[in-house]
Amino acid sequence: MELREFRVFLAVAEEGSVSAAARQLRVSQPSVSQTIATLERQTGLELLIRRSTGVQLTEAGTVLAGEARAVLARYDQALTRIGQFAVVGDTHLRIGVPLEFPPQLLPEAMTTLAVRHPRTHVTFQHLSSADQLQALRAGELELGLLRSRPADRDLDAMVVVREHLGVLLAATGDAPVPGGVRLESLAGLSWVGFPRADSPVWFDEITAVLHSHGLNPGALAARGQSLIPEVKFAAVSAGQAFALAPEKWGQPLPAGVIWTALAGSPLVRRTWAVWAADSRRRDLATLVGHLTSA
């Protein structure tokens, strides 16, 4: 069994669906199914109960999932422990950060990194996903935090955070809708979106969901326009638009603007840690390991 197979199996277990796991990993559904079939052939056991609504772990699958998590955790621990032998010259770690990255994750990771690798100097660059990907390809970043998994074979990636998005709306004084507002009820409002060039895959995922609920995304944001909180607040306050935001956004809402959940959580924003597949940097492994376990 390979670590890659464990990661695929755990994605299926966590998502409860082969197709959902394939979307999360940005691989084809047949590839995921083949990996599961390989594991079942290797163990000689049925690991999943397949239903029309998804999959469920068998008793053997539950045991394997626990062991797989333990193996991956032990692997990360091993990388961390041998980090003390890293080349002294590996002291500069350049990290790309997108807008609205959860504020609590990086400070905690930086604290761990400073303790285990005190010689590593970290610098941050605020860049869109597209710009981070270009910088990673050019060797100008050691770690990117992207809103979609790149298809490049020479880049590795793991999900570090999933955020169920709600909406920012103009306050009307009405009582909150139990369970959140339905996305289709926002028909007639414009979406305050980011430029597609910043993160094409994530942009297309959002607009596909909006279209499937009968919404017209409206005019596209101009390239280079940063969707900072002040822009969102100003745009929605007039009552003619809505913006997407996670519940634990960390931004205080001004008077006249409210946040509410979306019924059924139709939009989940994933952020991927992305790095060069051939990297042997132990400080980077420590950082990625902390982010993925947070």
Please give the radius of gyration of the chain, using alpha carbons only, rounded to the nearest integer: 21
167-183 pLDDT, tens digit per residue, is 999 998 777 788 899 99
Which domain range does residue 277 map to? 88-161+270-293
Residue 206: φ, ψ to 5°: -65, -50
Residue 43 clears pLDDT 70, i.e. is over it: yes
Are residues 64 and 102 both part of a single domain?
Answer: no
In whole angstroms, what is the distance from residue 286 CA to residue 117 CA?
Answer: 9
In whole angstroms, what is the distance from residue 81 CA to residue 77 CA?
Answer: 6
In whole angstroms, what is the distance from residue 73 CA to residue 68 CA?
Answer: 8
Does the pTM surpass 0.75? The reply is no
94-139 pLDDT, tens digit per residue, is 999 998 888 888 888 899 899 988 889 999 999 999 999 999 999 9
Provide the pLDDT for residue 80.
Answer: 66
The CATH number for 120's domain is 3.40.190.10
Are residues 9 and 103 both part of a single domain?
Answer: no
Domain count across the chain: 3
H helix count then E strand count, the chain: 9, 10
Provide the pLDDT for residue 86.
Answer: 52
1-12 pLDDT, tens digit per residue, is 778 888 889 999
